[in-house]
Each structure stands twice: as structure tokens, then as C-alpha cells.
Structure 1
Amino acid sequence: MLATISQQANHSIAQFARPLPYSVDAVWAVLTENDKLQKWMGNLEIIELRKNGKIHFNMNDGTDAFEEIAIIDFIDKEVLAFEWGTDTVRFEVSPTSEGCQLRLIESIHALTEHTAKDLAGWHICLNLLTDLLNGIVHNEFPMDDWQKRYTDYQLLVDNSKA
């Protein structure tokens, strides 16, 4: 299922919702424990898991280069939000009768040519996260799947601008 994009007064909100048949604890672990996190989002490394803590976005180019990302909101086993360039990304985990609901909400300052790339990337990363919970580990990022989703998100972003 594709994300939805809604317009706010001075920004856009892209929202992914994934019902998962797993406990909040299991989903929180894949979001916040580096050995699991890096299996679905290989660039991220949590350094200080707390509000005003930090995450590294590792370039993974052999140079040890990284960008530091600030954690702007944190509630243990409920909310992890961080800067994403000029935007913000927020993960929310809440229990349901079947497991839990995972929401990824990106607040987007301006819809640009890069927005569809980011949204396609988050879409694939959420698929990888779900696969990891199901016991499937991918050794490579599925670029063919990303390309298909990128096309979908280009259309979605273009329609959201209209």
C-alpha cells in the first residue's frame, strides 16, 4: 500500500501505515536496536536513543563519513522522530488486538524532485522491516522494487502538487 500525502498550511505530510502481527516490543526492537535496524535501513545507526539524542546517517562508502541527525521526539516503545534534512520523520508504534500498528510520518517542507525518491525508499525500507520481522533478511537493497515504487511515488507527488 502506497503512502498518502496530505497538504497542510505550510508543508505536506506523507504517511505510511502498516498493521503488523507482531508485538510492540518486537517492532520497537527492529526500529531501535542497531543490529536489527541496519538490516532494513543500512545507513542508520542510533548513537543516543533519547529525546535530543542522535543518529548517524552513515555514507557506507568506505570512508567512515556520516551525517549527524537529531532525535527530536522520543517516547520509549511509542515514538521515535528525527530530522531528515529540512524535513522530519516520525515512527509511531501502537498496540492493536492483532499485534501493532506502525506508522511512518514524514513532514515535508516542500515537495521536490527528490521527494518521490525518499518516499519510494521509505516504502521499500518498510517492506524490508516487515520481511525482517518475518525472518527474511535481504543482503542487498532491491533496486528493481525501488524503481517500480519510485514511478508510483512520482505520480503521487505530482498529483499532490496539483
Structure 2
Amino acid sequence: MLATIQKQQNNYVVKFNRPLSHSVDAVWAVLTENEKLQKWMNNLEIIDLRKNGKIHFNMNDGTNAFQEITITDYVEKEVLEFDWGKDTVRFELSPSGSGSILVLLESIGELTEHTPKDLAGWHICLGLLSDLLNGTVHEEFPMEEWQKWFAEYKQLVAYVEKI
């Protein structure tokens, strides 16, 4: 399911909506517990899980280099929002009749040539998250699938830029 992009007054909001057949507790655990988080987004490491807390974006290049990310909003089992470069990523989690709904919102100040790459990456990571909840762990990032979604998001971003 492709994300949507809406132009706002001063930015763009990208929305990924993922209904999941798992409880809020189970989904929250894969978002916030490092041993689970790193199975679908291996660069992220929760350091201090609270508002104004910290996450590390590890470069995973053997140098122990990382970027520090600030958690800008946090409500346990409901909201996890953090800086993403100049932008913001927000996970919103709510119960549904068949499990839960995970919404990822990325607030983007400016669409660039990197935007579709980032969006394709989030798309793949959300698929890896869903697979993890269903008991499948991927050892490798699925680059071929990423290429497919990158092409889709490149078209979507080009369309939104024309509006």
C-alpha cells in the first residue's frame, strides 16, 4: 500500500497506514525494544525512551559512528515521534477490532531527489516490521524490492511537485 503525500502550508506530510493483526502491545514492542527494533530497522537504537529522550542512528560501518536523534513526542503505546534530519517521523499506534493500526507520518520541509529513496526505505521497513510480527526475520535488506518501491515513490513525488 503506497503512502500518501499531502502538501500543507509550509511542508509535506507523508502518511503510511498499516492495519496489523497484532495487539498494540506487540507492535509497541517492535517499535521500542532494541532487540526487536533492530530486526526491521537495524540502524536505530533507543537510548532514552521518553519525550526529549534519545535514539541513535547507527552508521553500521564498523566505526561505531552514529547520529543522535531527539524524541520530540512520546506517549507510551500511542506515539513515538523523533527528528529525522530536518524532518520529523511520527509513529501513531491505536487499537482496532482485528489488532491495531500503525500510522507513520513523515513531515518533510522540502521534497528533494532523496525523498523517494527515503519513502521507499520506510515502505520496506514497515513491511519488515509486519513480517517480524508474523514471525519472519529477514537477514538482508531486500534491495530489489526497494528498487521497485523507489520507482513508485519517484513517480508519486514528481506528481505531488506538479500540484
Per the normalisation by structure 2, the TM-score is 0.99
CA distance in 1 between counterparts of 2:160 and 2:28 reads 31
2:71 is the alignment partner of 1:56: no
Question: After superposition, what is the alpha-carbon deviation per residue over 1:98-124, rounded to whole angstroms, capped at 9, x for unaligned?
Answer: 100000000000000000000000000
Which residue does 2:27 correspond to in 1?
A: 27
Secondary structure of the structure 2 residue equivalent to 1:22? coil
Which residue does 1:125 correspond to in 2?
A: 125
Which residue does 1:36 correspond to in 2?
A: 36
Residue pairs, 1:4-153, within 5 angstroms: 4-153=4-153
**Cα shift at 1:72:** 0.1
**Cα shift at 1:148:** 0.4
CA distance in 2 between counterparts of 1:54 and 1:81 reads 11
Secondary structure of the structure 2 residue equivalent to 1:60? coil
Question: After superposition, what is the alpha-carbon deviation per residue over 1:23-59, rounded to whole angstroms, capped at 9, x for unaligned?
Answer: 0000000000000000000000000000000000000
Which residue does 2:161 correspond to in 1?
A: 161
* Aligned residue pairs, count: 162
CA distance in 2 between counterparts of 1:98 and 1:133 reads 14
CA distance in 2 between counterparts of 1:155 and 1:48 reads 37
**Cα shift at 1:126:** 0.1
Secondary structure of the structure 1 residue equivalent to 2:38? helix
Secondary structure of the structure 2 residue equivalent to 1:40? coil
CA distance in 1 between counterparts of 2:32 and 2:12 reads 26
User: Which runs of no fewer than 5 residues in structure 2 stay unpaired?
Assistant: none
CA distance in 2 between counterparts of 1:55 and 1:43 reads 10
Amino acid of the residue matched to residue 59 of structure 2?
M
